[in-house]
């Protein structure tokens, strides 16, 4: 959640910054109007409370002196009723303000590029040179058919569209990638966690999936539980409504989980293959850190994801997301896009984001900063999306006959000789 005191104090500046994310001006004006209403409601309440205190004092004095207090009592009774009404009015406005604030995205960092869509994102650098094939490289769904790696039809039969079965070597490679990613992250200093894949609404509110993105979530009927869209949700919320000691920071966490998304806003996109699925595997990195260290941790996390791709021999590039393509909770995001020769283009395989104190305010994650409590900064990123890494290996390590080689670093995980 935004720092509402900052928004109220510096409304015009915040409005300009949020325009970079394409936030509706009318929404922000509504927020500003609620600030004014709440201020007036509190002023009226305090004014009546002040009158009540003066009359109560007078009432006591009159009673001690034996004077008639009938008229004063009527005034006090009337004031009491007015005060209750004004207090309820102020509470309603404050609730409206809080509910509206939960739908407003994080303020982008000053250095975030201007732009409206992914077309305006800024490439930062490329890592490794794509291989030149002496033949026309195939896309992953063609390779899947040749090798019997992915059964699309039976995946749909078992569930519905955007589900698939990984078979034989593909299933084994998926498991190898998960273990490789976790080991890599642990060696970097991340603590491995095995969290629940169900979270309640309070946790999803804390990380920003609720209330805005409820249509993208799979809800358990009759329960206050949802299938997680990413391990960011349970990992970040481990310290929900807790106060950490400064010495405990940073908390670096990693986890493998299946992830579940309805992909409500992606109708017609990537319908072939397994680029965009309702269920997919991902290894996540989460950091909970001191605000002064969050930029340093952010760079480390981006480099870690890049190093994993390099270890796999996968060409990729780093892209700085523009304001219009920035996620709801993010202040800054760098995407890592892997080269897919079958598609002859780079595709997103990881997003590393610094949320600043946006999630920490929602989830009430604080640390003891001297004598006061301050909000931590939270960060998250994929290291990596497993299915998309599988696709990248299939396309980058394919042979002319459709056979697929295995990257050297993964052979021990697949019980093969290096």
> Exactly one of 351, 356, 361, 362 is catalytic; which is it?
351
In the set 162, 261, 356, 361, the catalytic residue is 261
Rounded Cα gap, residues 406 and 418, in angstroms: 10
Distance CA 58, CA 12 (A): 46
Kind of pairing, strands 191-192 and 251-260?
Answer: parallel
d(CA 130, CA 120): 23
Q: Is 93 helix (H, G, I), strand (E, B) or coil?
A: helix
Long-range pairs, 274-277, Cβ under 8 A, ≥24? 274/140, 274/141, 274/150, 274/164, 274/387, 274/390, 274/391, 275/347, 275/388, 275/391, 276/162, 277/162, 277/163, 277/164, 277/387
Structure tokens at 303: 């480099």
Q: Beta strand 316-320 with 122-127: parallel, antiparallel or unpaired?
A: antiparallel
Which of 169, 276, 310, 317 does the annotation list as catalytic? 276
Phi-psi bin for 416: left (phi > 0), alpha (psi -120 to 50), beta? beta
CA distances 360 to 112, 240, 300, 368, Å, are 21, 8, 20, 14
DSSP state of 183: H
Angstrom distances, CA of residue 117 to CA of 128, 320, 335, 343, 373 = 26, 12, 14, 21, 38
Q: Where are the alpha helices (DSSP H) in 254-357?
A: 294-311
Active site residue 126: no
Of the residues 306, 332, 388, 395, only one is catalytic, namely 388
CA distances from 33 to 37, 39, 40 (A): 6, 10, 11
Return the axis-axis angle of helices 386-396 and 168-187, rounded to nearest 10°: 110
Catalytic residue status for 276:
yes
Go through 323-346 and write b for each residue having 16 or more CB atoms within 10 A of its CB, e for each that does not.
bbbbebbbbbbbbbbbbbbbeeeb
388 catalytic per annotation: yes
Give yes or no: 261 in active site.
Answer: yes
CA atoms within 13 A on the CB side of 371: 0
**Spatial distance between the Cα atoms of 356 and 379, rounded to a whole number of angstroms:** 7
Whole-number Å distance between alpha carbons of 88 and 91: 5
From 82, 94, 348, 374, active-site residue: 348
Q: Can 351 be counted among the known catalytic residues? A: yes
Phi, psi of 54 (to 5 degrees): -65, -45
Any bridge partners for residue 303, and if so which? none
Active-site annotation, residues: 261, 276, 348, 351, 388
């Amino acid at each position: 959640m935004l720092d509402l005191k900052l928004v109220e104090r510096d409304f015009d500046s915040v409005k300009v910054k949020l325009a970079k994310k394409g936030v509706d001006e009318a929404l922000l004006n509504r927020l500003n109007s609620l600030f004014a209403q709440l201020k007036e409601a509190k002023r009226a309440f305090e004014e009546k409370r002040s009158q009540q205190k003066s009359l109560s004092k007078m009432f006591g004095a009159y009673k001690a002196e034996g004077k008639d207090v009938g008229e004063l009592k009527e005034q006090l009774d009337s004031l009491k009723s007015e005060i209750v009404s004004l207090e309820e009015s102020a509470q309603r406005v404050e609730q409206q303000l809080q509910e509206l604030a939960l739908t407003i995205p994080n303020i982008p960092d000053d250095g975030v590029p201007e732009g409206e869509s992914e077309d305006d994102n800024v490439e930062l650098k490329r890592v490794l040179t794509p291989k030149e094939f002496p033949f026309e490289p195939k896309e992953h769904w063609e390779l899947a058919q040749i090798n019997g790696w992915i059964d699309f039809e039976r995946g749909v039969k078992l569930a519905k569209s955007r589900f698939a079965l990984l078979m034989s070597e593909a299933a084994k490679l998926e498991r190898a990638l998960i273990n490789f990613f976790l080991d890599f992250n642990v060696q970097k200093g991340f603590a491995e966690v095995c969290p629940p894949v169900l979270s309640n609404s309070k946790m999803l509110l804390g990380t920003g999936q609720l209330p805005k993105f409820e249509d993208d979530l799979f809800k358990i009927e009759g329960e206050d539980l949802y299938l997680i869209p990413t391990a960011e949700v349970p990992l970040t919320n481990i310290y929900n409504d807790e106060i950490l000691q400064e010495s405990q920071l940073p908390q670096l966490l990693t986890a493998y989980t299946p992830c579940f998304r309805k992909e409500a806003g992606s109708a017609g996109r990537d319908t072939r293959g397994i680029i965009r699925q309702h269920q997919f595997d991902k290894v996540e990195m989460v950091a909970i850190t001191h605000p002064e260290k969050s930029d340093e941790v952010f760079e480390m996390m981006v480099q870690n994801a890049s190093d994993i791709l390099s270890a796999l021999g996968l060409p990729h590039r780093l892209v700085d997301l523009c304001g219009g393509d920035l996620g709801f909770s993010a202040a800054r995001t760098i995407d890592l896009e892997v080269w897919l020769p079958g598609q002859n283009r780079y595709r997103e395989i990881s997003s590393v984001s610094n949320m600043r104190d946006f999630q920490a305010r929602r989830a009430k994650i604080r640390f003891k900063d001297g004598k006061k409590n301050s909000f931590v900064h939270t960060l998250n990123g994929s290291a990596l999306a497993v299915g998309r890494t599988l696709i990248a290996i299939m396309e980058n390590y394919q042979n002319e006959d459709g056979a697929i080689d295995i990257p050297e670093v993964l052979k021990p995980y697949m019980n093969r000789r290096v």
